[in-house]
Amino acid sequence: MRHRAFVIAGQRTAIVANDDCDFRHGATAHYVPVGVQMPARSHDRAETLFLVEDGMLEFMIGGAAGLVLSGDFVRVPAGVSYAYRNAGDTIARLLVRSANPRGSRIAAHISATFAA
């Protein structure tokens, strides 16, 4: 079994990425120390989604900049350059998900129920 990304909500879980298949989805958690900036990048065929769990970040997307706070959501379309930096005074934590729309045609929804 290799890496899997999944979401747990209450007593249910759904697999949203599985590198054994060809879903072309990825999900990671990033921790950004105070003052650190992630270098500019872009993904030609995949949109990138960010959910800030804790902290304050400054996002630079396609030439525009703005502050993003805990609980905020950011979407970067495919092909658009972006960068971000920790603009707060604590370690920032964010969830990052990327999805290649071409591969999502074959993605299947898989779920399981867990005992309480």
pLDDT of residue 33: 94
C-alpha separations of 51 from 2, 58, 93, 109, 113 in Å: 25, 13, 9, 22, 25
Residue 109 has pLDDT above 50, yes or no: no
**3-class DSSP assignment, residue 106:** helix
Exposed / middle / buried, residue 108 (Cβ in 10 Å: 0-12, 13-18, 19+): exposed
Dihedral sign, CA of 60, 62, 64, 67? negative
Exposed / middle / buried, residue 83 (Cβ in 10 Å: 0-12, 13-18, 19+): middle
Indicate whether this model's pTM tops 0.85.
Answer: no
Q: With pLDDT > 70 as the criterion, what percentage of the chain qualifies?
A: 63
Distance CA 71, CA 68 (A): 9
Q: Which fold has domain 24-102?
A: Jelly Rolls (2.60.120)
Q: What's the start-to-end Cα distance of the chain, in Å? A: 25
Domain ranges of the chain: 24-102
pLDDT-derived band at 97, boundaries 50, 70, 90: confident
Write the pLDDT tens digit of every residue in 20-73. Answer: 454 556 678 889 999 999 999 988 888 888 999 999 999 999 989 999 999 999
